[in-house]
Chain A
Amino acid sequence: EAGVAQSPRYKIIEKRQSVAFWCNPISGHATLYWYQQILGQGPKLLIQFQNNGVVDDSQLPKDRFSAERLKGVDSTLKIQPAKLEDSAVYLCASSFTGQGYEQYFGPGTRLTVT
């Protein structure tokens, strides 16, 4: 079974530039999560989708971050404009809907903002 795919794996940009990350979840998984993980910390939930609807985006900095999940499958996360403090690993995860199901994580995208 194919896992969660993410691209790119690495990205280096200058501050005030924009960047986009792509995630393809495991087939059949209705729930999709985007996390930000700063070095030395646990993953921080940015946004959670169920199909193409947003369940939770309370920690998404909406002035610069946006995310969409068109057709309830693939998802993109965008940052515009980027700040130095956005340097982190961005993780995508997916799961079947329900508290008894585990999440599967992708390999992440390491973003460096200079």
Chain B
Amino acid sequence: DAKTTQPNSMESNEEEPVHLPCNHSTISGTDYIHWYRQLPSQGPEYVIHGLTSNVNNRMASLAIAEDRKSSTLILHRATLRDAAVYYCILKTSYDKVIFGPGTSLSVIP
């Protein structure tokens, strides 16, 4: 199964940008990179996804390396509400999705 690796935890100051890295060296050509986040006591929520090109939406930006073996989720201005566990996952053929332990993001006021 295609796997991703992320740091266990990260800290950021409020209102500063946050760059959350993800490595996926075994990605195949058709795998999509998806990011989800999970706030305490809630189900995961979708953040952003991409295949090859960088992507932007109202929540975040996704920067994908040219060789697609790594990606970075960018939160442009961290707020206290962004404190959550962030999961980088690959959506493979047959829509299979495997979650890892994710990165726990703390935001310091």
Contact = CB atoms under 8 A, between A and B. Distances in A.
B49 A55 contact: no
B23 to A, nearest CB: 16
Contact of A107 (B36, B43, B49, B100): B43
Nearest to B34: A102
Interface string B67-97: 0000000000000000001010001111111
A105 B85 CA distance: 15
B43 to A, nearest CB: 3
B101 interface: yes
A101 B36 CA distance: 13
A61 interface: no
A111 B102 CA distance: 22
Contacts of B51: 100
Interface of B: 30-32, 34, 36, 42-46, 49, 51, 85, 87, 91-102
Interface of A: 31, 33, 35, 41-45, 48, 50, 55-56, 91, 93, 95, 97-108
Given A55-B94, A91-B43, 8 more contacts: A33-B97, A42-B85, A42-B99, A42-B102, A91-B44, A99-B32, A102-B49, A105-B43
